[in-house]
Amino acid sequence: MTVQEHAFTQQAWTNANFRQVWFALSVSLIGSQITSLAVPLLAALTLNATPLHMGYLAAAERFPSLLFSLFAGVWVDRIKNKRLLMIWMDVLRAASLLSIPVTVIMGVLTLTQLYVVAFLLGTLTVVFEVAHSAYVPTFLPDSQILDGNSKLQVSHSAASSAGPGLGGLIVQWLTAPFALVFDALTYLASALFLLRICAEAPPPRKSPPLNVVNDVREGLSALLRQHLLGAWAVCGAAIIFFTGAFEAQYILYATRELHLNAGWIGLIAAAGGLAALPAAFLTTSVAQRFPVGPTIILGTMTWVLSLLVVPLMGGPLGVVVGVLALARVISGLIFTVVNVQQWSLRQIVTPAHLRGRVSASNRFLIEGAGALGAVFGGVLATGLGLRRALMLVCVGALLCFLPLFFAPLWKLHRMPEHSTAVPQ
């Protein structure tokens, strides 16, 4: 790495506000990874959930994006103190999670409560993520956004590596309900880091009178009519519909068909996270050496192909764990780079006053599709069985890539230097 490249990769880290946001996100993401393992295991192993129940549980966490993300984007773009909003979301997420071990101690935990908690967590996370996406670019210039997102992706990667493995061990030792206490504590720690930020981001520009319908339309239009983002948003939503169906049934398939316990499931997930760590540090260099559009499209396709390995596996436990871990390593390396690239592209080409709504519109499409897909996966697995259902949804996701090879994104070689959004 040249001295110039090294200086570029350090730019975002010199920003004190960015460091606090990075620490906040890092600690909360580790806990969230524990929850993503503990809650489905709690439903599958303790409450004897069916495939349809697992679909409902996955959908409950993602439906808030379909219901509220567009309105959250309007709110976030107009609110001055985005940091305070993020702090409150952390505190409320901690309180929601702590209700589960309390009801376990009382002996009254039900699937209905898990649905409610998942829905609340999804709602609070929608607001937090939209605020976060709009807040960070306010104190990072466009030239530092790719580097900043690379460092934030390190947090995602570290959480993906440490969280599931740690979660698997905690679930094994303390049982799933009490593993959630750790996640609640990480949200509170995140709130403390955000409180340490000394200066607020600049207030939003003077907005016209509130008109929710027009504000929502403006955000959706800026996403769907933007020539680099539109096709990716639509095809991405279709892909996530099928992968959402897959993810909703994965824990059930892993425990009942592959006979993996919480520890093995956590270890497999951790393998992908460990592989993602070096990839997160290399995203800036990759963006400089490889075409951005093909990297995003082909990298995402690699991730879907790695999912297809799951229903095709069988045999001795060691072989199953080894192959699934290897698939996670490959997808973790590639998809990490993809995530940073598409995340940065969306922020760079979107005007500052629209970032909250564009992020919310993207979340509306992606997470909404995932929620519908989760229910679809439960119905499909009930009718066809888990293995056939997982294979079918993987094939469906791969077919959704075809239009992208004819979209403007496929021809994008370098990251744009400024906003190219559709004029309003």
pLDDT computed for residue 201 by the predictor: 52
pLDDT of 255-311, one tens digit each? 888 988 877 887 787 777 676 667 666 666 777 788 888 989 998 999 899 899 999
Average pLDDT over residues 78-95: 88
CATH of the domain at 270: 1.20.1250.20
CB-based burial label for 417 (10 Å; 0-12, 13-18, 19+): exposed
Q: Is residue 337 part of a domain?
A: yes
Q: Is residue 174 part of a domain?
A: yes
Q: Is residue 416 part of a domain?
A: no
Average pLDDT over residues 329-337: 79
Average pLDDT over residues 229-241: 93
What residues make up the domain containing 276?
A: 3-200+215-411
Q: Is residue 420 part of a domain?
A: no
CA dihedral 337, 340, 343, 346 (to 10 degrees): -80
Q: Does position 398 have pLDDT exceeding 90, yes or no?
A: yes
Residue type, 41: L
Question: Nearest to residue 117, comparing CAs of 166, 47, 24?
Answer: 47
Q: Does position 72 have pLDDT exceeding 70, yes or no?
A: yes
The total domain count for the chain is: 1
Q: Does position 90 have pLDDT exceeding 70, yes or no?
A: yes
Q: Is residue 208 part of a domain?
A: no
Mean pLDDT rounded to a whole number for the chain: 81
Looking at per-residue pLDDT, the higher value among 9 and 111 belongs to: 111
Q: Is residue 207 part of a domain?
A: no
Q: Does position 392 have pLDDT exceeding 60, yes or no?
A: yes
Q: Is residue 418 part of a domain?
A: no
The contacts of residue 379 (CB under 8 Å, 6+ apart) are 52, 55
Average pLDDT over residues 251-255: 89
